[in-house]
Structure 1
């Protein structure tokens, strides 16, 4: 009996070792938020646990964070075919994601697809516009590839990868709230938006409600002046980089292939370093409340739980040897 109990405990630990679960603190909302990390550049493996802790400990949601893992069980954002513990998606009430060029196996992708078809709300950050790539020709998910007419990103979120509109790692982003939509619930309590990533070129569809536009700055700090120069858009129209400013956050409600609807908050901001900004964290948290049909707080508590010192973005610069268990809440 003793050996059986030890075996069961070992199996339980093994199953939990590839993801992290944050149980709600205080009054539970009864909702399960699944946060998906998996990008090679913007450190979602650091930011998704941070957001999960805020949503669970400050707001009463159960949160599960999933990762891309290498064969040794450590977090490897370059493992584009990996998503740990996809079974969590079966009970997801909402998804928060920062993905780039993923190509999961069919069983994993079907679980994500099923969640979307259930109509779960989605909060999608930065490179999630081009979340999927590499599905083989003839695959049932070939059309999800970002370079297939914009793929899943353009169809669901409203945009795909287009270009770096600001100069990458040179010109940061100041978020300018769209005056006409300033009273949208997702913007409740949001101000002073800033990220040290650059503005992406984006043209969301007519059904999208633009919440924030990105002012291209001359430098990498919030106190630098706006940039002023012209460049051609993807449609080969020459324009000043800040006239008009590109959308960097929008919402839409889109009907999926199963006939249900998904409430979408998409933002091209959202690197781990961007999320040191309180306003951006609040917009993400507000997006979860709005997506779930819950009353958005007047000023959501988005204070960091524990420590958060994100690694600077860039290819190849992720922290080696990290494991999901390293992101558990400290007792």
Structure 2
């Protein structure tokens, strides 16, 4: 796999950041990352994943952030403002990590128009409960709410495969080992995947449709180290799905490839196997599975020391320009 020099990448310092990939295999493809969650540091993890896809694989990557309009800083607690959603007009794929957002209708329309285009989505961790409408119940997008009854379970359940259910593992005390489903071990997304572990816990899953193909199950471990033993008893019998794929057909009649992963906090991305799985998922989503090598290059670009997950633990004062390639 060809590695691009930093000189081949251009960042733009606005309320978002752009990494311009110049060479194949991703040349000419645009991926938009939409971040915005209070707990799992998507504002740190998604820029690193975008840098890998741009520098190592040639994709143009745009990363959007929840922005405090008063000072232009990244504010994961701001649930109502993600600047730059119009980037989705030229996106070939979206990678999203959202939690309980209620975007203004003009921002949300770009997202819904993208969905109706039938383009692929990689949705990570809290994206199963991306939207929560409490301020404007008259919004035309209120059905996207994770608790919707008109569209049961909202965007998460109807499109990704499930909404928020529960912490199946003991949050902050029982980490997750990824166990590949033998039935789909030859799936292109799993190519070159040897190990998956993350300190986040396994989510409960209750509504996964029959058309979903579960690629990875989550084994609950006794502690917060990758060497910890699996928890004995019913928590792991059966194990919960943590990564699956499915198709969703929109009102437009177009169909999107969907990849959903309930593991994927920034600290989870310190795991090489999980980074590789997400990079492979982008290739697969874009119909480029024939270009996935035996072991995709997912070496981090620069240093990567993300903050641990937790409410109120985000790094204050950061701006999108802080995530430019140096």
Task: Give distance in 1, aligned partners of 2:92 and 2:17.
Answer: 17
Q: Quote the residue 1:138 is aligned against.
A: 138
Equivalent of 1:221 in 222, 225, 239: 225
Greater Cα offset, 34-43 or 21-30: 21-30
CA contact (8 A) 1:21 1:63 kept: yes
CA deviation vs aligned residue, 1:87-129 (integer Å, no higher than 9, x gap):
1111010001110001111111000001111111000110000
Q: Quote the residue 1:104 is aligned against.
A: 103
After superposition, residues 1-331 of structure 1 pair within 5 angstroms as 16-27=13-24, 28-70=26-68, 71-134=70-133, 136-148=136-148, 149-203=152-206, 204-229=208-233, 240-294=234-288, 295=290, 296-330=292-326
User: What TM-score does the superposition give when structure 1 sets the normalisation length?
Assistant: 0.91
Task: Give distance in 1, aligned partners of 2:67 and 2:284.
Answer: 31
CA contact (8 A) 1:272 1:311 kept: yes
Larger radius of gyration, structure 1 or 2?
A: 1
CA contact (8 A) 2:13 2:324 kept: no
User: What TM-score does the superposition give when structure 2 sets the normalisation length?
Assistant: 0.92
CA deviation vs aligned residue, 1:222-246 (integer Å, no higher than 9, x gap):
10011124xxxxxxxxxx0000100
Q: Quote the residue 2:3 is aligned against.
A: none
CA contact (8 A) 1:210 1:250 kept: yes
Aligned Cα RMSD in Å? 1.2
Q: How many residues align?
A: 307
Task: Give distance in 1, aligned partners of 2:119 and 2:300.
Answer: 26
Offset of residue 139 of structure 1: 1.6
Offset of residue 16 of structure 1: 4.1
Unaligned runs of at least 5 residues, structure 2: 1-10
Greater Cα offset, 24-33 or 178-187: 24-33
Task: Give distance in 2, aligned partners of 1:92 and 1:274.
Answer: 26
Unaligned runs of at least 5 residues, structure 1: 1-12, 230-239
SS in 2 for 1:95: strand
Task: Give distance in 2, aligned partners of 1:140 and 1:62.
Answer: 31
CA contact (8 A) 1:286 1:297 kept: no
